Amino acid sequence: MAYSTSLEAEIPAKPWGKPSLEGNWDFKTATRLNRPKNLANKEFLTAEEASKIEADIQTSRAAATAKEGEVRKGLDGQSDVDAGYNSGFLELGNKLDKSLRTSIIFDPPNGRMPAMTAAAQARNQPYWHMQSLPPEGPEMRALTDRCLIGMNNNPMRSGAYNNIMQIVQSESHIVIQVEMVNDHRVIPTDGSGASPSGAQFWKGFATGQWVADTFVVTTTNFKPYAAPMGTGDQVVLTERFTRLDGNTLQYEWTVEDPESYPVPFSGRQQLRLTTDNVYEYACHEGNYSMPLVLKAARKQDKEGGSDSTWMPSWFKGRLAN
């Protein structure tokens, strides 16, 4: 059984009649989360504009990779730190979203996330500041550094690497695994399972149900600082998975948290079916990274140093923003 959307594309279906969402889906993209300000209210690119942007991306990344060779020549101080995390580790998207939207965000209509509330900034500031300090212990590092949650999930957003999501589907449950930190969720399809009062989870508490041919997942009860995009413990994340054709899965999400953002905001992306595998995410393979981070911090304490050369330049820029 299959749903036909055109002569060229068919949507596979399960024996119980629902569209099949199964497969490995690639969500890396060069389309930005927020619409560039210079594009103002332009929602879609032309094919010619998209081709030029993709060509420019290839050119700029090739130049950046060439520049890394110059950085490695120094290998002292900041150069040493920066050279340890280069393009050899990255798998960035080089193609724009199939829809040719100018941003993943489509609501608000300007294609940009709303400004965070003052209350949310005050709530997050201590956590952000902590990331700039030499850590006294592992608890002072980000949850992603500690391999507790992924950097590109809830909702799924294109990141530096591990941008593959696998779906396994039965009539009663759908299992979603993102390669980054092996983030996985087992979600009932009948809307059952009330969120436990007072309980909080690293990945939140998810329930799902079919609305026509779209699988809708609602997630609440996130742990502090594990909630999506700087939100708080009252956030509601709604995700919608819709099979568009044999090779395309539309992924749409909405974040709602009035305490953190004055209005809800939503994103939409078309994921591509891929034959690439989902591999184990070892994170700190052998658990070397965290002990070395702490060892370096203690050395800095002993020597009375207080500079930030232990952080890569790109991370300093993120903190400044």
The confidence score (pLDDT) of residue 8 equals 44
pLDDT at 147 (0 to 100): 82
pLDDT at 304: 78
pLDDT at res. 3: 42
d(CA 320, CA 93): 25
| Geometric angle at alpha carbon 226, from 221 and 227, rounded to 5° | 55
Average pLDDT over residues 180-195: 87
Percent of the chain with pLDDT over 70: 85
| Residue 310 domain-assigned (yes or no) | no
In tens, the pLDDT along 147-180 reads 888 888 889 999 888 999 999 999 999 999 999 9
Structure token digits, residue 119: 């209350």
Instruction: With respect to residue 149, please indicate whether it lies within any of the assigned structural domains.
Output: yes
With respect to residue 313, please indicate whether it lies within any of the assigned structural domains. Answer: no
Nearest to 35 by CA among 108, 139, 121: 108
Structure confidence at residue 298 (pLDDT): 87
> In sequence order, which residues have a C-beta less than 8 Å from that of residue 259 and are 6 or more positions away?
117, 119, 120, 231, 232, 234
Cα gap 281→91, rounded to integer Å: 14
Task: Tell me how many domains the chain contains.
Answer: 1
Q: Are residues 236 and 218 in contact, defined by beta-carbon separation less than 8 angstroms?
A: yes
User: Per-residue pLDDT tens for 193-202?
Assistant: 777 888 999 9
pLDDT, tens only, 201-230: 999 999 999 999 999 999 999 998 899 999
- pLDDT at residue 311, as a whole number: 66
320 within a domain of the structure (yes/no): no
Instruction: Give me the pLDDT at residue 151, please.
Output: 81
> What is the per-residue pLDDT for 4?
43
Is a pLDDT exceeding 50 seen at residue 6? no
Q: Are 237 and 154 in contact (CB under 8 A)?
A: yes
pLDDT per position as a tens digit, 108-162 = 999 999 999 999 999 999 888 888 788 888 888 888 888 888 888 889 999 888 9
Tell me the per-residue pLDDT of 306-315, one tens digit each, with 9 for 90 and over.
666 666 666 6
- For residue 20, being part of any structural domain is answered with yes
pLDDT in the model for residue 64: 78
* Exposed e or buried b per residue across 264-292, where buried means at least 16 C-beta atoms within 10 angstroms of its C-beta: ebbbbbbbbebeeebeebebeeeeeebee
Most confident of 41-45, 66-70, 295-299: 41-45
Q: How would you class 115 by CB atoms within 10 Å of its CB: exposed for 0-12, middle for 13-18, buried for 19 or more?
A: exposed
Find the mean pLDDT for residues 257-282: 95
> What's residue 275's pLDDT?
95
319 within domain boundaries? no
**Is residue 285 assigned to a domain?**
no
Place of tokens 């994921």: 271
Domain that includes residue 257, residue range: 2-273
Residue 190: which pLDDT band, with cuts at 50, 70 and 90? very high
Whether residue 258 has a cis bond before it, omega within 30° of 0: no
Output the average pLDDT for the chain. 87
In a domain, 199, yes or no: yes
pLDDT for residue 319: 56
